[in-house]
A and B are shown apart, each in its own frame.
Chain A
Amino acid sequence: MNIGILALQGAVSEHKSCMCNLGTDVIEVRKPNDLNGIHGLIMPGGESTTLRKLLKNSGLWVAIKEMDLPIMGTCAGAILLGKCDDETFTKMDIEINRNYYGRQKDSFEASITLENKNVFNGVFIRAPVITSVGEKATAIAWKGEEIVGCIEGKNMALTFHPELTSDLTFHKMWKDRLK
């Protein structure tokens, strides 16, 4: 299985090593041609305004929008998957709010609970928040009452950064859906 990682800006190498540790071949995606032959795409955390511009200028915006490609998005990547007051791919039926918790000094680590009650160390960096989950999407991870992760078909949106910890739970969960 080939997984593409959007390699325009952000935490690219971290996601790459997560997928390599799961025994997956990884391709860095910088232009539309790089999308050929991949089975899924990871959109990493970074600055969403920067990513949006680089995606548009490279022609990747249109290509990704038109393709039915499974996507895992973390933080800025999750913003681009959902719906917010800025332009996104709207591949998932969730509303998401940018920089919800405040500035970097308000960034934090916190325990996240999964459906099976397992606990995951969530790293939230100038993180967005999922404000509502539509009918087509399902919540999969919570910080207290707050929803911090959703799936919809083969797409997954996480407001935190699983690529910054060595726990591969979420990467594996997404990869298993692609089979």
Chain B
Amino acid sequence: MSLELDLESLRHGKELVKRGFARMQKGGVIMDVVNSKQAKIAENAGAVAVMALERVPADIRADGGVARMSNPMMVKEIIDCTSIPVMAKCRIGHTAEAKILEALGVDMVDESEVLTPADPYYHVVKDGFTVPFVCGATSLGEAVRRIWEGAAMIRTKGEAGTGNVVAAMRHARLLQAEIAAVQASNNLEPIASKMVDKFFVLDEEAKENLGESAGYNAFHKSRTEIESEILEILIEIKKLGRLPVVTFTAGGIATPADAALMMQFGMDGIFVGSGIFKSDDPDTMAKAVVEATAHFDDPELIGNISKGLGNAMAGLEESQLETKMASRGH
């Protein structure tokens, strides 16, 4: 192809376009919805996007069993009924589900620990997709690995379906402390090397079984190559003082005040899963969380909108949880 023709052509699915989509979501609220009626409520409340799924995390938790990608028919129904972006979840490492969601036309895929992981060793290799991905992280290492794999947005994992903000706060705090450590460090190579270890857990198992290994990983790249690419991401983080992609919070946000807390902490926006449609008055709660996210620094306003909300969802204490979703993935 000649240079001239190349300039004329449209370039789809490049980093700038994928990360750019995430940037347009900043300061906004992305709401879990299970049908077109809820999608309309979310859109009317001012959500920047909806997450289409069959059950909200609180119900996934209560039901137990294996949680998979939602029925494509249900995802399509929500795509057809709303004008705002639609996201949907695939299981960790389930490339086939991610491809199906991309083909369906979802605007962003959430490779989510809320569903049961499909691959115990690897996440989806995301840079070959046209659709952008959001991935959860509990620490800087996880965030950097996902960004290296091609994620266009990072979110805290929190503990989905609990209505308890403490895990989201833990992950946001750790991310911040680790970014500070990277900024203070004059020797990022060992940090990069430590972050890459998680890609070689499978190789270590082979080595334990056989006494030998081939340095195997899923990316067809040498360890040295991966380390130097991870190092580049760390250098960018050091320069920016933050992740190079949009960073939302998720997992346990249940009230307008929770949303404000996380925004004040420096998050770029909010995912609310069960918090809206497990509350007494989803319509009013949805609008209030949107307002609180935009005006996170105005306690008087947040106090006012919180007056007539009804009850928030019932919450779960972290220590009583049977399943810690945040520990899924690496």
Contacts and interface: CB of A to CB of B under 8 A. Distances in A.
Interface of A: 7-14, 30, 45-47, 49-50, 53-54, 57-58, 75-76, 98-99, 103-111, 119, 123-126, 144, 161, 164-165
Nearest to A30: B295
12 contacts: A8-B294, A9-B294, A10-B28, A50-B48, A53-B290, A105-B130, A108-B12, A108-B17, A109-B17, A110-B10, A126-B24, A164-B20
A123 B22 CA distance: 13
B28 A46 contact: yes
Contact of A98 (B7, B46, B83, B295): B83
A125 B20 contact: yes
B26 A10 contact: yes
B182 interface: no
Contacts of A164: 16, 20, 23
B23 A11 contact: yes
A50 to B, nearest CB: 5
Contacts of B32: none
Nearest to A57: B291
A123 B49 contact: no
B43 interface: yes
Contact of B84 (A12, A13, A47, A105): A47
B102 A107 contact: no
A104 B84 contact: no
Nearest to A9: B27
A45 B17 CA distance: 13
B158 interface: no
Contacts of A123: 16-17, 20
A125 B21 contact: yes
Interface of B: 7-14, 16-17, 20-21, 23-28, 43, 45-49, 79, 83-85, 102, 105-108, 130-132, 290-291, 294-295, 298
Given A49-B83, A49-B84, A105 B24 contact: no
A107 B17 contact: yes
Contacts of A111: 7-8
Contacts of B105: 103, 105
Contacts of B294: 8-9, 30, 54, 58
A108 B11 CA distance: 5
A123 B282 CA distance: 36
B67 to A, nearest CB: 25
Contact of B85 (A104, A106, A119): A104
Contact of B21 (A9, A49, A107, A110): A107
Given A9-B28, A11-B24, A54 B17 contact: no
Contacts of A9: 26-28, 48, 294
B48 A105 contact: no
Contacts of B43: 49
B85 A50 contact: no
